A and B are shown apart, each in its own frame.
Chain A
Amino acid sequence: MTSSSHYDESREAWEADRNKTKQRFPERKSSFKTSSDIEIDPLYTPEDKSDDYAEHLGFPGQYPFTRGIQPTMYRSKYWTMRQYAGFGSAEETNRRFRYLLDQGQTGLSVAFDLPTQIGYDSDDPMAEGEVGKVGVAIDSLQDMEQLFHEIPLDKVSTSMTINAPASILLAMYIAVGEKQGVAMEKLTGTIQNDILKEYIARGTYIYPPKPSMRLITDIFGFCQQHVPKFNTISISGYHIREAGSTAVQEVAFTLANGMAYVDAAIESGLEVDHFAPRLAFFFNAHNQFFEEVAKFRAARRIWAKIMKEHYHAENPKSWKLRFHTQTGGSTLTAQQPDNNIVRVTLQALAAVMGGTQSLHTNSRDEALALPTEESARVALRTQQIIANESGVADTIDPMGGSYYVESLTDRIEEEVNDYLEKIDQLGGAVQAVEDGYMQREIHHTAYETQKDIEAGEEIIVGLNQYKVEEEINPDLLRVDEELEAEQIEQTRQVRETRDQTRTDECLEALKTAAKQNKTNLMPYILEAVKSYATVGEIANILRNEFGEYTEM
């Protein structure tokens, strides 16, 4: 079909023409490459497209899901617009949540402060200076009640960026639902619960990998029975990419981690088709538009094949890679911050073209501080404009069939599979993480990127080219410095007014359960949070039993 003589003649003529023109107008660079070092040809043609449509692409909602996981995609319903927010006190964050819901946001996404994420109460000496800074401070169930005050949990889906103490915060969410009269069977949302990438890239680990994997599979087991609509994990490439990886590394390390969770769950006695449909993913959307679109499409296809062919999952829901996307924070510049709106738009567009299920768009001022309300609104409006005005959501997988994008999708799949093989040879993702393999690969890429930027080989507008003299002083969001003291006082009051005997009993029961490997800890943690035991108290019980992880 591509070998007609007319085609060949035209192609030869073009090549001759091109070589001639190149003499007079040399190409801008000696070679063109994607972030993953994939060589980009000057032109893609039918020769670059694989022939087997059904096997490679299929139809939307059909294996291997290259074109999307639902039969209708955005023609039925746009992606969920889910802006990650949280700062200061639960009360303040609750106000921001209700503002975002009023502005048309369709799901909540909670950012917790670092002490909460690492299992310290606000009055722990380790928490000093960090309370309420990068997210909301949650110590006890009381804070969680304030966070969702007047937000009916049967009406919103909530995503929580929480990993090492994921079971504690999930338990608190369940307890808040119960108080509102919403049964846990009805709760929808996602917990990040992805510890492996914490060791690799994000840093909010508490316990060593093994007991951490147990906590994760305990959540899988508990939710499968009691919280069936909740996504029990969001396997995250986002932070891997932010730490400096390439697009290929992002997908490869994320899927390798995904396989480690599947292995752990199977080993703990769960049936793959029972938990796999609740696995969700979380990717980054970076600057190189076509590579990003191809990345999302390739990730879907690879995961489908892994689940079907490697794990022999039979439920089609187990094959579907559902993912959330956030635009790339590390691509934002502190210089000329308004330029970031444009970057975010392009990145968001790539995520939509890639078929994301939900999306967070970063705010223009995030290279400087947490976003102000106004910046957060522009970020949300960016998604709304893409959805309602650009027309890109009106047909499914509009990039499908592009010679270039299909070729890149195939190429990314190949390179990811090479990495997966390598990680398998190293003994799987958990072992590779413990050996620091992924950390080293990412650091190497990050350093090379930095050198390219400093040498001016990679151009960042406003940073190393097109600079202006500017006074960088936009209105920034400041977290009230008084907050830490107020939060500490509030937690002190909770400890004073709770039924201490009950709390002690709950914590003691948790301690005993933790010693028995086969016992699911979720019910014990749920009882403990209901007795107003704090995040720090529960995490400390487990620290004593499991130990703490330290970097090499």
Chain B
Amino acid sequence: MKQIRVLIAKPGLDGHDRGALIIAQALRDHGMEVIYTGLRQSPNQIAQAAIQEDVDVIGLSSLSGAHKSLFPKVVDALKAQQAEDIPVVAGGVIPPEDVPYLEERGITKIFTSGSSTEAIAHYIKQLIDKDREPVTKPKKIAHIGIAVHSIEQALPFYKDVVGLDLSVVEDVESEQVKVAFLKIGESNIELLEPLSDGSPIQAFLTKRGEGIHHIAFEVDDIHNRLAQYKELGVPLINEAPKSGAHQSEIAFLHPKAAHGVLYELCQPADKE
């Protein structure tokens, strides 16, 4: 894919450039080519620079309260030079009630105080690359992982009291864990027993005791999905898939991404 080119500009006399500089740097870190105009640019200068530099998008920043008069002028200047196809996004100290007016005057998107650079970078990528795949639903809940001290001791409850069928027991060396799957409808209960003190399950048991450890979503696009989540700024424990039970490919999202729940993405091997 072609590199996205962005013009970051400070219209008017405002000298607060901390935000503009941070955005510029963050977009560069996201692989974009960023041109920063520096301070005190007139709307015409900004439009000209955008055309000359052949950018895909313009980002404006103002903290002085002049946004209502200056931002629309940049859009007008682009129109006057038949360059209205360059979208303009903007940020700064902008009261929420000004946003509808600015959008009506042709600003594509306003990011108010507190917006994350990840969100802005992602928005720009979506905006420029409209063919990008949309976020899709996982197929189902593959299993619910339950940490136990001993599978042997836990099985009678699941088999005899709840009445589930044990489908498989196996060791997953990479995780230092022994697992037992009990089928329930289209999903499974997965019992997890640590194989050693170094096992993450042992750490979980020490800290919290037995209980629900994670929920796994079944997906069929784990590589793409991880890349997409990463781009969205979702904190990941595994940025690339690793091998899980039944030669599946798995990866965990960080619980802080999901309000305290540990989610696993799980792509079964060789789907028939």
Contacts and interface: CB of A to CB of B under 8 A. Distances in A.
B187 interface: no
A543 B192 CA distance: 75
Contact of A455 (B25, B113, B235): B235
Interface in A188-227: 198, 202-204
Nearest to A203: B15
B114 interface: yes
A182 interface: no
B113 A334 contact: yes
Interface in B150-200: none
Interface string A242-268: 111000000000000000000000000
Given A129-B69, A333-B113, A473-B97, A202 B15 contact: yes
B231 to A, nearest CB: 14
A349 interface: no
Contacts of B22: 244, 443, 446-447, 450
A401 interface: no
Interface residues of B, number: 35
Contact of B39 (A203, A244, A368): A203
B18 A244 contact: yes
Main secondary structure of the interface of B (DSSP, over half): loop
Given A129-B70, A450-B26, A367 B18 contact: no
Interface in A415-473: 443, 446-447, 450, 454-456, 463, 472-473
Given A129-B12, A203-B17, A204-B15, A333 B93 contact: no
Contacts of A550: 38
Given A130-B64, A334-B112, A368 B15 contact: no
Interface string B25-38: 11000000000001
B247 interface: no
B12 A130 contact: yes
A550 B45 CA distance: 15
Contacts of B14: 114, 130, 203
A479 interface: yes
What band does the interface of chain A fall in when counting residues whose beta carbon is under 8 Å from B?
35 or more
B114 A335 contact: yes
Contacts of B95: 368-369, 476
B218 to A, nearest CB: 28
A368 B18 CA distance: 17
B227 interface: no
A333 B114 contact: yes
Contact of A134 (B39, B64, B117): B64
A133 B65 contact: yes
Contacts of A473: 96-97
A443 B13 contact: no
A334 B38 contact: no
Contacts of A244: 18, 22
B38 A369 contact: no
Q: Considering the complex of A and B, which 9 residue pairs feature the smallest CB-CB distances, nearest first?
A: A203-B15, A129-B69, A114-B13, A129-B66, A133-B65, A334-B113, A551-B38, A130-B66, A129-B70
17 contacts: A114-B15, A128-B69, A129-B12, A129-B70, A130-B64, A133-B66, A198-B15, A202-B15, A203-B16, A204-B13, A243-B17, A443-B25, A446-B18, A447-B25, A456-B235, A456-B256, A472-B112
